[in-house]
């Protein structure tokens, strides 16, 4: 599969994000989990790949079936919301 540089950059970014499951990458770029792993191995430095692999392995949020929440995004109760370009304390 030939991917553009901007697509490769976005896949790497999504793969590093803790809350982005591999299913989202599959949906958007039609790459299976193993293909993402191979892309990361090819595009990252060996030490960066090892760090990423250790971080992702066993992380429930990267696998939709292991997630503890079903819909939407996780949001911490202490996280502030942005309303009309200002931060509210709701």
Q: What's the pTM value of the predicted model, to 2 decimals?
A: 0.68
pLDDT score of 35 more than 60: yes
What would the two tokens of residue 49 be?
Answer: 């790949």
Distance CA 86, CA 69 (A): 29
Given a contact cutoff of 8 angstroms between Cβ atoms, the answer to whether 30 and 48 are in contact is no
Question: Which CB contacts under 8 angstroms, 24+ apart, belong to 25-31?
Answer: 29/3, 30/1, 31/1
pLDDT score of 68 more than 60: no
pLDDT score of 26 more than 70: yes
User: What pLDDT is attached to residue 67?
Assistant: 54
Name beta bridge partners: 54.
none
| Domain spans in the chain, listed from the N-terminal domain onward | 5-58
């Amino acid at each position: 599969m030939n991917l553009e540089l901007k697509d490769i950059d976005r896949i790497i970014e999504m793969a590093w994000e803790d809350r982005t499951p591999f299913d989202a990458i599959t949906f958007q770029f039609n790459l299976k989990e193993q293909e993402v792993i191979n892309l990361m191995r090819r595009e990252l430095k060996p030490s960066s790949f090892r760090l990423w692999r250790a971080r992702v392995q066993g992380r429930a949020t990267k696998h939709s079936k292991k997630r503890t929440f079903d819909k939407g995004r996780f949001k911490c109760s202490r996280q502030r919301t942005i309303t009309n370009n200002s931060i509210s304390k709701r």
